Amino acid sequence: MIQKRPSYNDFNEYYKKYIDLVEENDIIGQLKYGLSRNIQFFGEIDTDKWNYRYAENKWSIKEVLQHIIDTERVMSYRALRVARNDQTEMPGFDQDDFIKNVNLDDRSEKDIIDEYFAVRKATIALFNGLEENAWERRGIASQSPVTPLSLAFIIAGHELHHIDVIRKNYL
């Protein structure tokens, strides 16, 4: 089991703020802990809060959770490709376009939480299945180097960032 942090030259500097939020080196343990903590956290949010926006042009809680899910899917996909030594450069993605092109009005909070659960379980399974040397393979995504290790830390830290935003601005 991997028990180390990514090197700062293994990811774009933009992601440092997320990686630095992850306190432990056991990244799979952190992803598992995040899953149980956040299933409970989202499950305790009152139904009337899910569509609340704390300011104009800000996302609702539904949209924030969908963004966490979408970003995790993209980062996991990148990790899979790099772990399998695919050297094809991967483009970036526009998070705002992703949210603009999903209709969350007809989806229940439970449905979105269930999707989060399924995606996180798949992410954990992916990382659990990596052999040790795959964690540090390097690829290019959004014109910057990445490793599966850095992507796992980005997933965990990105989620921590948004949970903190929800706590401070929505609840």
- Reported for 16-25, long-range contacts at CB under 8 A and 24+ positions apart, including other chains, are 17/157, 17/161, 18/153, 18/154, 18/156, 18/157, 18/158, 18/160, 18/161, 19/150, 19/153, 19/154, 19/157, 20/157, 21/156, 21/157, 21/160, 21/161, 22/153, 22/156, 22/157, 22/160
Separation between Cα atoms, residue 20 and residue 110, nearest integer Å: 30
Closest of 15, 42, 39 to residue 152, by C-alpha: 15
pLDDT value, residue 1? 66
Model pTM? Answer: 0.95
Tens digit of pLDDT at every position of the chain (171 positions): 678 999 999 999 999 999 999 999 999 999 999 999 999 999 999 999 999 999 999 999 999 999 999 999 999 999 999 999 999 999 999 998 999 899 898 899 999 999 999 999 999 999 999 999 999 999 999 999 999 999 999 999 999 999 999 999 999
Separation between Cα atoms, residue 154 and residue 115, nearest integer Å: 19
Q: Which domains does the chain have, with CATH numbers?
A: 26-169 (1.20.120.450)
